[in-house]
Structure 1
Amino acid sequence: MPPRRRRTRRTTAALLGLVTALSLTAACGTSADGSTDKVAPRGAGKGGFQIELGPDQDRISTAEVASIAALVPAQIRERGTLEVVNSAGSAPPLTFYATDDKTVIGVEPDIASLVADVLGLKLHYNTVDWANIFVGLDSGKYDAGFSNITVTEERKEKYDFATYRLDNLAFEAKKGAGWKVTGPKDVAGRTIGVSSGTNQEKLLVTWSEQNVKKGLKPTAIKYFQQTTDYYLALGSGRLDAYLGPNPVSAYHAASTGQTEIIGTYSGGGADVQGKIAATTKKDNGLVKALHEALNTLVENGTYAKVLARWGLANEAVPSSELNPVGLPKTNQ
């Protein structure tokens, strides 16, 4: 995951553009006070899926669990805060800025907030560029990273991990497409969009080459760099599907109601299922508490509520894992 820079007021327009791009049919929902801090699909009606973009997030909360809080290292317990580091400015729904351009929101802060609740700590955000997440963890400045960090074998040499989401790529198609992607043969002869220089491009090229060797048609790969361009291409039928990061695709599908996920594939490729994890400096004593806190969230249902809130139910894990097999060094 590359470094991200803090966005300015243009962020709000970009977020609204993301959820309205496909056929320009999504609508901004207005709250009781007339604000536009919620975005909902056209026709969703009251009580339907709504995306909170404003700074007042009304986050889901949960109770402290004393036995798990007792696992937190004494220095952190005495301080009373959980110093969480993240990198904002990425595409929603991961970690991004609200409509006030200063409040960090998204699925990552929501999960970190729940973990802090279980540990009986006050959550304190530290928003930095991507590279400085690891610099801060190394120095002990930050306790844990919640920033879409994938477990890799190389990172496991320096950090401990407690997983909480799958790291998947997704094929997104116009709603009602009537086909699914389970493997290479399903994209033979199809026109698929992708961003250049990404892992998903590498996957798509590899699949197309495998199909040709088997006597199947190649995949027509179309390259896009702008979100609005590929969603308009989906809406007009110029693309059969777009292959991108699952969180962004799932968020868009849930928020507009105009597309659907027709297949997912591990971001780690065929050899290993990629996983996203809370990340701490190796052997700093915190990871067990994070691991048990995350499993508490899974068991009490608040974890599922947060994922559903951001349209990421398809990235749920049945339980948190401690330092699982990560992406191999040759895959990173």
Structure 2
Amino acid sequence: MTFQTSLKAALFGLSALALGSAASADQLDDIKAAGKIVTATDMHYAPFDMLNNGTYEGMTKDLFDEVSKEIGVEPVYQDIPWTAELPGLEVGKFDIVIAPVTITPERLERYTFTLPIADATVSLVRAAANTELTKPEDIKGKTVGVQQGTAQFRQLQAYGESLGGVNVKEYGTTDEAYADLAAGRLDAVAGSLPNLTYLVKNRAETFALFEPAQFGQPTYFAWVLRKEEGSESFAKAINDALLKMTDDGRVKAIQEKWLGSHTELPREVPAN
């Protein structure tokens, strides 16, 4: 064997070793080695994520604190605008998006979802003084606010088209939409049932749910990881923790603390 041949063989071996290491890279191992999970969420999405005098709190934080304990690492919480979260996840700026993300068939093709953490079925809220709007179909021809880039936005658009037309106004945060609704600049706001239930519970003098509030197909919120082989063990660790917390009552207690009620959630990731 010549020196040149030996050199080529050595270089090939190093390349194969590097490729093998990359292919076997495991996100959970990396997280445990670092001792932390770097997360992203939008801290303006009550009751899941809120800033109270600068302190992060909410249903998401309580759930993920417990999940992190089960995995044996510390959570690092970052306040990121919703529209930047999934793109940031894809380029590796954080390990997971813990902002409640609605599970949809399109997103399932692109991302790895955890087990559901809450009901996400789209619903409607109105000003408490506006008794002309009661059922969902009453929004025909009206102006309805919704957070941009959400599954609720797409569901509202589709529902509006089925009614013959709804003026959909997009907002960066739900808080901005609620403010315009209270000021009379909107007829209604669409969002997930847990968010709107929490809003009405805390501001019943200003807001009221439609009756019925929900429309469209039942959907669920979950957390999101990158869709890659190395993330499979990380997703399993989170799901195992959520199932353990469901069985020992921690999920129920956290739901009741923030939502005032308990909803049984699927024990598998819904297919759509």
Q: TM-score range by the shorter chain?
A: 0.5 to 0.7
User: 2:240 matched to 1:292?
Assistant: yes
> What percentage of residue pairs aligned between the two structures are identical?
17
Aligned position for 2:163: 208
Deviations 1:194-242 (A, max 9, x none): 2278446535534534xxxxxxxxx998989752453466xxxx97xx4
Distance 1:138 1:232, change over 3 A: closer
Q: Give the unaligned 5+ runs of structure 1.
A: 1-70, 210-218, 327-332
Q: Which amino acid aligns with 2:265?
A: P
In the TM superposition, what are the counterparts of 1:33-182 in structure 2 within 5 Å? 73-88=28-43, 90-100=44-54, 103-162=55-114, 163-172=116-125, 174=128, 181=135
Distance 1:180 1:288, change over 3 A: farther
Q: Secondary structure at the match of 1:145?
A: strand
Equivalent residue in structure 2 for 1:194, among 141, 144, 148: 144
TM-score, structure 2 as length reference: 0.65
Q: Give the unaligned 5+ runs of structure 2.
A: 1-25, 171-175
For the 8 Å contact 1:170–1:264, the answer to whether it is kept is yes
Structure of larger gyration radius: 2
Shift of 1:73: 2.7
Q: Which amino acid aligns with 1:194?
A: V
User: 2:231 matched to 1:255?
Assistant: no
Aligned position for 2:266: 319
Shift of 1:296: 1.9
Rounded to whole Å, the distance in 1 between the matches of 2:88 and 2:117 is 21
Distance 1:191 1:249, change over 3 A: farther
Q: Which amino acid aligns with 1:227?
A: Y
Aligned position for 2:225: 280
**Bigger helix share:** 2
TM-score, structure 1 as length reference: 0.55
Rounded to whole Å, the distance in 2 between the matches of 1:138 and 1:193 is 34
What RMSD in Å do the two structures reach over aligned CA positions?
3.8
Distance 1:192 1:204, change over 3 A: farther
Shift of 1:253: 1.5
Shift of 1:116: 0.9
Q: Secondary structure at the match of 1:244?
A: strand
Rounded to whole Å, the distance in 2 between the matches of 1:222 and 1:145 is 27
For the 8 Å contact 1:149–1:279, the answer to whether it is kept is yes
